[in-house]
Amino acid sequence: MDHEAVLAAYDRQLRREARTDSPGARVERGGGVVRQVGAEHDWNGVHWADTDEATADGVIAEQVRYYTTLGREFEWKLHSHDRPADLADRLRAAGFVPEPPETVMVAEVAGLPTEPELPAGVTLLPVKDAVGARLMAEAHDAAFGADGAGLGERLAARVLTQLTETPDAVAAVVAMAGDVPVCGARIEFCPGTDFAGLWGGGTAPQWRGKGIYRALIAYRTRIAAERGYRYLQVDATDDSRPILQRLGFAPLSVTTPFVHRP
Residues 115-166: pLDDT tens digits? Answer: 999 999 999 999 999 999 999 999 999 998 855 456 777 778 888 888 888 8
Count other C-beta atoms under 10 Å from residue 215's C-beta.
Answer: 23
Predicted confidence at residue 186, as pLDDT, reads: 95
What domains appear along the chain, each with residue ranges and CATH number?
Answer: 3-103 (no CATH), 108-253 (3.40.630.30)
Average pLDDT of the segment spanning 9-33: 93
CA distance 228 to 204: 32
The helix (run of H) or strand (run of E) holding residue 102 is strand 102-108
pLDDT tens per residue, range 44-75: 999 999 999 999 999 999 999 999 999 999 99
Task: Give the mean model confidence (pLDDT) for residues 77-103.
Answer: 98
Model-level pTM?
0.91
Nearest to 144 by CA among 27, 237, 22: 237
